[in-house]
Amino acid sequence: MPSPRTRETALQPGVSPARAKSRAWGRLAELRGPGVPARALDARALAALAANPGCGRRAILDGAGVDKAALAEALGAPAVFGQSQFAFMRGNAFEARVKADGGAELLRLAHTRLDPGAEPPRESRVPDLSAVGPEGRTARTALALREATRAGAWTLLDHPMLALEVAGSPAYLEPDAVVVHPDGSWTVVEIKSFPMLDGSADPAKVGAAARQSAVYVLALEDVAARLDPVPRVRHRVLLVCPKDFSNLPTASAVDVRKQRAVTARQLTRLTRVEDIADALPEGVCFSPELPSEELTAAVEAVPATYAPECLATCELAFHCRARSRAQGAVTALGRSARADLGGLSTVEDVLAAAHGEAGDPDDPAVAALRRAAALRAEALEQAGREAACR
């Protein structure tokens, strides 16, 4: 549903939908600051955004292309996570090895792990995907996918460009690779530099890779839906990692159906970026060049939904955590604690309910807190008696 401002503009005589959309994009450019280029969304950011769809702050900052790392630095709460330069170089070297010789080894792994019943790849088909700008690369990728599907042969698309609409804004995504099978089906390939030891990898890292790959699967499905007949996008992705402690590639098929369903549902729940922007006061800007007080006020104008999981996925997590703690919000304790506490939204409310000073006794959360407080008091009393007898 269009935002009020965009809808009002579109209804004005002589204003085309394209012009209305252009004005909406202009509003997002104003949020970044004069002359500040937009930072592109990637699959990792989209996976994190889908994991916390109620955070309007992340939605507007990502949708407007704001550099959250620079913003966090300007707010005095810099992010401390990210890939080291050494890990980045090691990952690039490993990916280059996997794709050497026209991707022959990568296609062999795809055949072995995903499609052993098909004819083995006899030769490497790697179409040229170069084009001008993300829109041009997206169109070139769609054309290459259509041609490879009709050819009915093993084909490797190296760093294709896909587009996915998120909260009313397009996000351009670049998976490591996409493989087209002889039967015309498509598979996402995710290449990671963490090792597979005895055929298995760190479950947490595999889960993060699966969530990221699910975003690519959704984007591929959008491309497939525009073709006739519609190709099948496989929901088992190929995860390629170093074998044991070597630099030799090995692979595993990872089922991302659950991650795909969750990500699709969460992305559809995201408020449109234009709607969030329209609710902001006029003149709000997130440029890191602004004075600290003005920048802090701009960030606080957008509601956030902080959770401890944000520390591993969002550059603004330390700023949001400090604000959440200062307000005594129970979200700082985690989503599970927040869910268990029901309508008690602050630590002060929780303590008051536990001590019998507030809260409805018939509320299960309040009753559980009072029971826990009574058990704690009883345990402390008993411990005091035992200490006195020694």
CB 310 within 8 A of CB 317: yes
Q: Which residue has the tokens 């704001």?
A: 66
Residue at 15 is within a domain: no
Residue at 370 is within a domain: yes
The mean pLDDT value of the chain amounts to 85
Residue at 92 is within a domain: yes
Query: In terms of residue numbers, what domain contains 149?
Result: 85-267
More confident of the two residues 51 and 112: 112
Same domain, 112 and 195: yes
Q: What is the pLDDT of residues 341-369, one digit of tens each?
A: 877 878 888 888 888 888 778 888 888 88
Q: Hey, what's the torsion of the CAs at 260, 261, 265, 267, to 10 degrees?
A: 0
User: Residue 366: what pLDDT?
Assistant: 85
Same domain, 107 and 252: yes
Same domain, 187 and 282: no
In this predicted structure, the answer to whether residue 274 has a pLDDT above a threshold of 50 is: yes
Q: What is the pLDDT of residues 58-99, one digit of tens each?
A: 888 887 888 898 899 999 888 776 666 777 788 889 999 999
Beta bridge partners of 179: 156, 187
CA–CA dist 99, 336 (Å, integer):
43
Residue at 110 is within a domain: yes
**What is the reported pTM?**
0.73
Same domain, 170 and 237: yes
* DSSP per-residue codes, 324-335: HHHTTBGGGG-H
How sure is the predictor about 19, in pLDDT bands with cuts at 50, 70 and 90? low
Residue 172, domain CATH: 3.90.320
Same domain, 294 and 323: yes
Q: Which residues contact 97 (CB under 8 A, 6 or more apart)?
A: 247, 249
CA–CA dist 354, 369 (Å, integer):
5
Q: Where are the beta strands (DSSP E) in 120-173?
A: 155-158, 162-166, 169-173
User: Residue 167: what pLDDT?
Assistant: 67
Same domain, 259 and 185: yes
CA–CA dist 200, 14 (Å, integer):
61
SS3 of residue 132 by DSSP: coil
Same domain, 223 and 97: yes
Residue at 319 is within a domain: yes
**Residue that is last in its domain, among 267, 296, 311:** 267
User: Residue 342: what pLDDT?
Assistant: 77
In this predicted structure, the answer to whether residue 24 has a pLDDT above a threshold of 80 is: no
Q: How many CB atoms lie within 10 A of CB 305?
A: 18
Residue at 1 is within a domain: no
Number of structural domains found in the chain = 3
Look at 147-151, 254-258, 365-369 and tell me which has the smallest mean pLDDT: 365-369
* HSE value, Cβ hemisphere, 13 Å, CA-based, for 359: 27
Same domain, 122 and 191: yes
User: Residue 170: what pLDDT?
Assistant: 78
**Residue that is last in its domain, among 217, 234, 267:** 267
Same domain, 381 and 351: yes
CA–CA dist 108, 254 (Å, integer):
17
Same domain, 163 and 198: yes
Please report, as a single letter, which amino acid is at residue 247: N
Dihedral class, residue 33 (left if φ above 0, else alpha if ψ from -120 to 50, else beta): left
CA–CA dist 6, 15 (Å, integer):
11
User: Residue 13: what pLDDT?
Assistant: 45
Same domain, 291 and 229: no
User: Residue 83: what pLDDT?
Assistant: 60
Residue at 304 is within a domain: yes
CA–CA dist 366, 349 (Å, integer):
10
The mean pLDDT value for 256-267 works out to: 89
Same domain, 255 and 128: yes
**Residue that is last in its domain, among 247, 267, 287:** 267
Residue at 262 is within a domain: yes
User: Residue 217: what pLDDT?
Assistant: 96
CA–CA dist 165, 240 (Å, integer):
27
Q: What is the pLDDT of residues 297-333, one digit of tens each?
A: 999 988 888 888 888 788 898 999 998 888 888 888 8
Using a pLDDT cut of 90, give the percent of the chain over it: 38
Helix (H), strand (E) at residue 340: helix 335-340
